[in-house]
Structure 1
Amino acid sequence: MKSFKGFLKNCVIMFLVAVLTTVTVSELVLAALAVEDSDLVGLKIELSSKNIYVGDKVDLKTYGVYKKGTIELKDGVRYEFGNKKVFTIDDKKLVAVRTGGAYLTASYKDKTVTKLLVAQDLKALENKQDKIGIQVKLIWRREAKGIELQWDKVGFLKFYTISRRVVGEGNYKTIVEKAEGNLFLDKDIASDKEYEYHVVLIDDNGTKYPLNDFKVPLDH
């Protein structure tokens, strides 16, 4: 039974970290803890020279990471982390080794506070949020010289890869491994065949954004 409870607790923790929500331990397991959230809410840390914020409140303007009321680690308080792979304490400062979540226990003279802290790279979150919902229009032209593909230019999507197949004749084959720009002329085509294309745009970090597949019919 104890092992099952431990497994269930780990599953709950993983879920909480995934949705970027922080709660007190008392909400997850029965524990005799005097919880004072205000002592840990808004704790400011640093990761890779970027500001990271932890806490238990949601502010949609910062994509789920609370950043108000930053505080310092207090003297006379013992801080301990259950997972030192995410957070460490160095020179009275809370340091995020990497993004993720871990429980922090702060032992005061008259109370013990335990919080699940989540560290996120705000810049990465903002970039990801900015990319959501972007629409890219692609047009094609079939001429004697080949099939020309052109799509909207998007600042952070500098690169692309293209796969192609003959309609009704097997799987896609990559014809452009990786190139830069927003225009491609496919000269290696047969005038009596229809083609389908799969275009994927790529950002500087290698994240791929596939466009909808489309078919280029015969030139009438």
Structure 2
Amino acid sequence: MRPHRAYSPGLTGVLPLEEGRHLVEVLRAGVGDRFTVFDESREALAEVVDLGPPVRYRILEERRPEREVGVEVVLYVALLKGDKLSEVVRAATELGATKIQPLITRHSVPKEMGEGKLRRLKAIAKEAAKQSGRLRVPEVLPPIPLKAVPEVEQGLVAHVGARALVREVLDPNRNLSLAVGPEGGFAEEEVALLEERGFAPVSLGRRILRAETAATALLAIVTAGEGR
């Protein structure tokens, strides 16, 4: 069996049914095969002891790897057309976001998100956490109107025309909220509202980026760019 990580809340010795099904039916695991289990705070080398269902395992060696950013990183991202939000959720998870909050904005083409799509985004976040070696699976929330965004400890909003660079305003040791608009960008009054809530407008360069690219770029600057 090829190396595999399975999400197992509490590391109880029993895999969730979906995780166990994947291990047995897709990866063809057998009794005695080893794999990695993880939850929100730790991971462990485990060995299959019963194919079930449910699949049962025993822990061989517990680990506490340091793979999280170290501060809360919340991504507020406008609803996007098609499947672009899936790309954002996957990249945001890999780059260390701890929470992903979709927004309904003036220029958002979609104005709602169905339960099926929300479940899919949550599944994408879990798979991306497994792939990237993270312990924490980011929370993906139902969309809210932009006016419902609370005041934040430290915020950055990607905005065409902003002059400040991220490195000029970022304190990497404080909790951080990031805001990225839809395909048409945030309206000026929306940017003003975000500024009132604690977000500083920042530039992502001289080029016009697609919404999904802007979200990935901003996250990469504040996490990967800081070596976190």
TM range (shorter): under 0.3
Structure whose alpha-carbon radius of gyration is higher: 1
Q: Which has the higher contact order (CA 8 A, sep 6+)?
A: 2
TM-score under structure 2 length normalisation: 0.26
Higher strand share: 1
- Whichever structure has more helix as a proportion of its residues is 2
Name the TM-score, length of structure 1 as normaliser.
Answer: 0.27
